[in-house]
Structure 1
Amino acid sequence: MRFFKGELFSGPGGMSMGAKEASVTHPKTGEVFFIEHRWSKDFDSDTCKTFGKNICGDEEDPSVHLGPVEKLPIGNRDLLPDIDCLTFGFPCNDYSQVGKRHGLEGEYGPLYSYGVKAIKEYQPKFFVAENVGGLQSANEGKAFIQILSEMEECGYNLTPHLYKFEEYGIPQARHRIIIVGIRQDLYESGVHYKVPAPTTPHNYRTSLDAIINPPISDSALNHEFPRHSQKVKDMLSYIPAGANAWHPGIPKELQLKVKGVRISSIYKRLDPERPAYTVTGSGGGGTHMYHWNENRALTNRERARLQTFDDGFEFIGSKVSVRKQIGMAVPVKGAKVIFEAILKTFAGIEYNYVDPEPKVQLGNLVNKKSKNEIAKELTALV
């Protein structure tokens, strides 16, 4: 069974590559369940070229639409044909713990509504929506409830869950809210999605293992080494693995002169015995992630390894652009786990699962309680 996929806010293709790699064969009938790209959209030119090259085989593939989501002709079947599934990682800027957290009132906060619009228009069999863990508490929890309510009102049974990707073999502590929606008629016929159980709950893959096994070729794509001033290299030489720029062993003359909040990720080295901290795509000096031993920041290919992109996945653009693309992506192998669980659900194949978190009953709950009451319940779980 083939599921045609549309995608909004596609990024460079982490979600789509995970979907592309996911495939399930029914053990009795031999039927193969898989997902195939049909169309996508992103607002960044380099990102669209990266997506086109790696997902479609052509940087200029016409199914990859460039531009603001507000101008995307949702519902125009000539440009955006019917789909069986929709994915959208709506922008997280206004929900992130490290941002100003404007939530629904921010510039990016309301953009989820275009995903809702596409769900209403195409009525896909299922959808997958992704955002940062901070979505749960934005606007005192009200943003999360409003988003869930609008998705549910489209006629879908929802399973929101805070996935901790390091528990699924991803060499990075990346925590994301992912909402899987199954169309109500299919849910009532027995298609019940369950959160796949963690595959490595107590045996995390380390950042060292991800970066050196196998070794990255000197000629690998997007593997240009960064340049640093001598002062930065000298400072790094005093920072042990897992520590940052505020390590007390740094000589006074090399210490950063920063007043106020001291962000923990500044010049922070990886701990080779643990998964990496979260890969990000923006930020100035000191935010580029740093090698546990060598006195330098990671290369973009090393960052891509932490996001579980294969070395053959080529990012298009400048080093700054590529860094941004890698940081905004969904880890490929994490997305694959979720899509495989969805395909098993449609195939009627059992798999190990866990209860979703936060534990808030959906369904008719929105009609039984006020949104403020539900928001308080959600906020208490954050």
Structure 2
Amino acid sequence: MGELFSGPGGMALGAHNAALATGVELMHAWANDYDQSTCDTYVANIPGATQATVTCQNVRDYPIEQQSKVSGFAFGFPCNDYSLVGEWRGLDGKYGPLYSYGVRVLDHHNPDWFVAENVSGLQSANAGRAFRLILDELAEAGEFGYRLYPHLYSFEEYGVPQKRKRIIVVGVRKDLDVDFRVPSPALYAGLDVSARTALTVPPVGGNLANNERTRQSAQVVERLDHIRPGENAFNADLPAHLRLNVKGATISQIYRRLHPNEPAYTVTGSGGGGTHVYHWDESRALTNRERARLQSFPDTFVFKGTKESVRRQVGMAVPVKGAEAVFTALFRSFNGQPYPAIDANLAHLVASDRNLARA
């Protein structure tokens, strides 16, 4: 498997876990990301990855055509310009066109399959034009083209203790007699994905890596003392001196406490005061290790870099268990193994029937 925009390795680890579970021999070939600490994390945790195979380089300069041939490809192309939080510039933004480097990989390597990931806002960016264009280019890429299986996944339905919606597009080469089907959440219905279980079973011990606490000012602690589980700085009953002086839109995640009996709200990789995800009981922000738990990374997965770099890596990553669910279904499809799947006509499909038929 080759990978662009690899991040710290959430997609890759999910793929390797799925391979072990389905009897597939999955070998890392190469990966690329632009941030050195992120690449160091990938090398430290992903089987087969080395400093020689994981290149820290702007994708615009990465020699795609010089990489070894791969039969599988993954890419979580940057979501900055498709996120609903931000300017939402889509294809007109700095990062919007970067999906095309994934298309270049498909054109050159003709892998059997690919898995692409992005935020839910992709389906509506540029009045829907961006997503239609991306689907068209993916479907027509390579020597044979690809059958596409786009789906809007709610990862809390697949074992991730976090409410996180992401578009995943699985592509299977058209000349192969393999039909991928979106895995049914019923497979994961019995899992406890509450924030309480994620952060307490087992307890997050102080000796774990990436578990440094953030220093909270006295005012922040006082503010959190007045916010109940599930509330935020705008719907809690705060004294006047603790209210935020914000005009216009109010973001519901600012100083929002987790609710212990529900999946966490979406973990992000950046943002100033009030965006660090807050414990339901203790008046503090979560540690990076706790955020990693909400992203379903195992405690043995050690992130490299400064605390702020690790926060960014955790927030930008694909949740491991979410990726594992998709890759498990994909590998079972190639193995000819049955598995419960969603009826394509009833699924939360993010492309119109016309787009799917054309793909």
Q: What TM-score bracket applies, with the shorter chain setting the length?
A: over 0.9
1:102 partner amino acid: R
CA distance in 1 between counterparts of 2:308 and 2:243 reads 26
Instruction: Report the counterpart of residue 39 of structure 2 in structure 1.
Output: 48
Q: List aligned pairs for 1:173-212, cutoff 5 A.
A: 173-186=163-176, 189=177, 191-198=178-185, 199-201=187-189, 205-212=193-200
Q: List aligned pairs for 1:322-333, cutoff 5 A.
A: 322-333=310-321
* 1:22/1:35 contact within 8 Å kept: no
Extract structure 1 runs of 4+ deviating beyond 2 A: 23-26, 199-204, 358-367
Instruction: Report the counterpart of residue 335 of structure 1 in structure 2.
Output: 323
Kindly state the Cα deviation for residue 293 of structure 1 after the two structures are TM-superposed. 0.6
CA distance in 1 between counterparts of 2:189 and 2:131 reads 27
Instruction: Report the counterpart of residue 350 of structure 2 in structure 1.
Output: 358
Which digits, 9 at most, give the CA deviation of each residue in 1:12-45, with x for residues without a partner? 000000011112677xxxxx32322110000001
Instruction: Report the counterpart of residue 137 of structure 1 in structure 2.
Output: 124
Identify the match of residue 18 of structure 2 among 22, 30, 35: 22
SS, match of residue 223 in structure 1: coil
Identify the match of residue 314 of structure 1 among 302, 325, 333: 302
1:283 partner amino acid: G
Q: List aligned pairs for 1:1-382, cutoff 5 A.
A: 5-23=1-19, 32-56=23-47, 61-76=51-66, 80-154=67-141, 155-186=145-176, 189=177, 191-198=178-185, 199-201=187-189, 205-354=193-342, 355=344, 356=347, 357-358=349-350, 360-361=352-353, 365-366=357-358
Which digits, 9 at most, give the CA deviation of each residue in 1:32-76, with x for residues without a partner? 323221100000010000001111477x62100111001011111
CA distance in 2 between counterparts of 1:231 and 1:363 reads 52
**Using a 3 Å threshold, how does the CA distance of structure 1 residues 145 and 359 change in structure 2: closer, same or farther?**
closer
SS, match of residue 64 in structure 2: coil
Structure with higher strand content: 1
Kindly state the Cα deviation for residue 358 of structure 1 after the two structures are TM-superposed. 2.9
1:125 partner amino acid: D
Kindly state the Cα deviation for residue 101 of structure 1 after the two structures are TM-superposed. 0.4
Kindly state the Cα deviation for residue 360 of structure 1 after the two structures are TM-superposed. 2.6
- TM-score, length-scaled by structure 2: 0.94
Identity %: 50
* Cα RMSD after superposing both structures: 1.7
Kindly state the Cα deviation for residue 103 of structure 1 after the two structures are TM-superposed. 0.3
Which digits, 9 at most, give the CA deviation of each residue in 1:229-249, with x for residues without a partner? 101100100000000011342
CA distance in 1 between counterparts of 2:17 and 2:228 reads 38
Extract unaligned runs of 5+ from structure 1: 27-31, 368-382
1:17 partner amino acid: L
**Using a 3 Å threshold, how does the CA distance of structure 1 residues 272 and 176 change in structure 2: closer, same or farther?**
same
- TM-score, length-scaled by structure 1: 0.89
2:137 partner amino acid: E
* 1:161/1:178 contact within 8 Å kept: yes
* 1:92/1:109 contact within 8 Å kept: yes
Q: Which moved more, 1:354-363 or 1:281-290?
A: 354-363
Which digits, 9 at most, give the CA deviation of each residue in 1:76-97, with x for residues without a partner? 1xxx101010100000000001
1:7 partner amino acid: E
**Using a 3 Å threshold, how does the CA distance of structure 1 residues 144 and 204 change in structure 2: closer, same or farther?**
farther
**Using a 3 Å threshold, how does the CA distance of structure 1 residues 233 and 57 change in structure 2: closer, same or farther?**
farther
Which digits, 9 at most, give the CA deviation of each residue in 1:196-231, with x for residues without a partner? 000345865101110100111210000001101101
* 1:204/1:274 contact within 8 Å kept: no
Instruction: Report the counterpart of residue 29 of structure 1 in structure 2.
Output: none
2:37 partner amino acid: D
* 1:22/1:34 contact within 8 Å kept: no
CA distance in 2 between counterparts of 1:52 and 1:24 reads 19
Extract unaligned runs of 5+ from structure 2: none
Q: Which moved more, 1:252-261 or 1:109-118?
A: 252-261
**Using a 3 Å threshold, how does the CA distance of structure 1 residues 320 and 24 change in structure 2: closer, same or farther?**
closer
* 1:158/1:362 contact within 8 Å kept: no
Which digits, 9 at most, give the CA deviation of each residue in 1:103-130, with x for residues without a partner? 0000000000000010110000000000
CA distance in 1 between counterparts of 2:183 and 2:358 reads 26
* 2:329/2:339 contact within 8 Å kept: yes
